[in-house]
Amino acid sequence: MALLADPDTPTEIARRLARTLPGRLAERAGQGRRFEVHVVSEPFTAGTEDPPTLMRRLMDRARTENWDVVVALTDLPLHSHGHKLVVDLSHEHGLALLSLPTLGGLRLETRARRAVEEAVLTLAAPQTTGTEEQPGSRPLGRFVSRLAPIHPGPVDEEETADLRYVVGGPRGYLRVLVGMVRANRPWRLVPGLSKALAAALATGAVATVNSTVWSLSEALSTPRLVIAMVGSIALMIGWLTVDARLWYRATDASAEERKRAGLYNASTVVTLAIGVIACYVGLLAINLVWALFILNDRVFAITTQNPLQSTDYWTLAWFVASTATVGGALGSGLESDEAIRAAAFSKREQERRDMLQDDDDADRSET
C-alpha cells in the first residue's frame, strides 16, 4: 500500500505513521497478513479541491504504480455537496482520500493514525459479491465513533468513491476551523515577522525611557489598558490582513462558496490572532525586564509626582507593549507579502492562494 501525501505537514505525518503502521495493521488484520507501506510525497491536490477529481487522480496513480491500496493525505479542507469532507473511500479501487483539517487540531497524529488504519483495513477486507452488502453499509468502526461528529455523506453515482464521511453542525465547523489553524502553524508567525518585531522592540525601548509615557501609564486605569491592548492587537491583525492581501474573496455568489470563504477567512483571523498575541506576550515580558532595569525611583517620583511602586513596572510594560504593537504593525509594511503569507499559511494553502491570485491577475489583464 501507499501513503500519498501533500508536502509539508501531511508528508511529515505520513512518514511518522509509516514507522508503526505495518505492524499495527498486521496485528489487527490477523490471519498472518503482512503490509508494506510506501510514503510518496507529491502535491496531488495541485490545481483542484474537487474530491471526485482527486479520486480520479488517485485511481490513475494507483494503476500506474500498481498499488493495491492508496491512502491520500491533504491539509486542504475539502467540500462536497455543501459538507466538509472527512474521507472518501472507493472499495472497488482501494482508494481513500483523507482531509486532515476535519480531524481537528488536538492529537492530530493519533487521530490520523486511527483514520488511516480503519480506512486500510476496510479497503483491504475481502469484497463480497451480489447484494449482500452495499458500500454504504460498511462502517469504519472506531473511526466513526471516535471521530464524531461525522456521518455518511451523499455520493453521486458517477463518482469513483462509493462511501463518504463528512462533518456537520457547529461542532464539525469548529473541528475543521481548529484543524485549519493548526495546519497554518500560527507559531511560525513570530519569527516570520522579523522586521515588524524589530520595529516593535525599537518602539518599546524608546517608549520605556520616555517620561510622558510614564505619566500616561500612571494615569491609565485597567479598563483603558485592556482597551489599548485589544485595540493594538486588532490593529496589527487588520493591518497584516489588508497589507498582505490575506482576505479570501468568494469566486462566485453560491452559498457553498460563501461558506468556504467564511471558513478560510476565519482560519486566517484566528491564525493571525494567535501569532500576534504570542508576539504581544513576548513584547510585554521584554518591556517588563527593560523597565525593571531602566526605571529610577527618584527620577520617576519627580516626573510623575508619585513614588515608584511595584505595580508601576507592570502598568508601564503593559502600556508600552500596546504602543510597541502599533509600531510593529507599521513595521510589518517592510515585510514582503510572500514572507507574511509563508508565516501565516500552510504550504498547500499558500500554493492555493497564489494560484487564485494568478487567475485573478490573468482575468484582469484580459479585460
Cα-Cα-Cα-Cα dihedral sign, residues 251, 359, 155, 38: negative
As given in the structure block, the three cell numbers for residue 171 are 461542532
Find out whether 203 and 289 touch, Cβ atoms under 8 Å: no
pTM of the model: 0.79
Q: What is the pLDDT of residue 347?
A: 56
Domains (range + CATH), the chain:
2-167 (3.40.390), 185-366 (no CATH)
CA distance 192 to 341: 9
Q: Of 72 and 304, which is predicted with more confidence?
A: 72
Q: Rg for the chain (alpha carbons), in Å?
A: 26
How far is residue 229's CA from residue 220's CA, in Å, rounded to a whole number? Answer: 12
Distance CA 171, CA 229 (A): 30
Confidence band of 223 (pLDDT split at 50, 70, 90): very high
Evaluate if residue 137 carries a pLDDT over 50.
no
Using the structure block, give the residue that is written with the C-alpha cell 490575506: 246
Handedness of CA 136, 137, 138, 141 (dihedral sign): positive
Q: Name the amino acid, one letter, at 113.
A: R
Give the model's pLDDT for residue 357: 56
Which pLDDT score, from 0 to 100, does residue 133 have?
Answer: 46
pLDDT value of residue 90: 93
> Among residues 36, 42, 38, which one has the least CA distance to residue 5?
42
What pLDDT, on a 0 to 100 scale, did the predictor assign at position 169? 80
State residue 57's pLDDT score: 92
Q: Helices 194-208 and 255-294 sit at what angle, rounded to 10 degrees?
A: 40
Amino acid at the residue 271? T
Neighbours of 339 (CB within 10 A): 17
User: What is the per-residue DSSP string for 112-167?
Assistant: HHHHHHHHHHHHHSPPP-TTS--GGG---THHHHHS-SEEE----TTSS-SEEEEE
The yes-or-no verdict on residue 281 having pLDDT over 90 is yes
Question: Lowest-pLDDT range, 47-56, 58-67, 109-118, 333-342?
Answer: 333-342
At residue 354, the pLDDT reads 61
Phi, psi angle pair for 165, to nearest 5°: -120, 140
H or E segment and range at residue 28: helix 9-29
Per-residue HEC secondary structure of 301-352 comes to HHHHCCCCCHHHHHHHHHHHHHHHHHHHHHHHHHCCHHHHHHHHCCHHHHHH
Percent share of the chain, pLDDT over 90:
26
Question: For the residues 238-245, what does the mean pLDDT come to?
Answer: 83
> According to the per-residue pLDDT averaged within each range, which of 57-71, 179-193, 200-214 is highest?
57-71
Q: How crowded is residue 366: how many other Cβ atoms within 10 Å of its Cβ?
A: 6
Grid coordinates standing for 256?
457553498
For the chain, give the mean pLDDT: 82
Mean pLDDT of 40-68: 89
- Whole-angstrom Cα distance, residue 308 to residue 134? 77
Mean pLDDT, residues 215-240:
90
* Residues 162-174, mean pLDDT to the nearest whole number: 86
Cell representation of residue 326: 502599533
Secondary structure of 191-252 as H, E, C letters = HHCHHHHHHHHHHHHHHHCCHHHHHHHHHCCHHHHHHHHHHHHHHHHHHHHHHCCCCCCCCC
Paired sense of beta strands 79-80 and 83-90, if any: antiparallel
- How, if at all, do strands 70-74 and 2-5 pair? parallel
Three-state secondary-structure class, residue 226: helix
Please state the rounded mean pLDDT for residues 51-70.
Answer: 92
Q: What is the pLDDT of residue 130?
A: 45
Which has more pLDDT, 230 or 216? 230
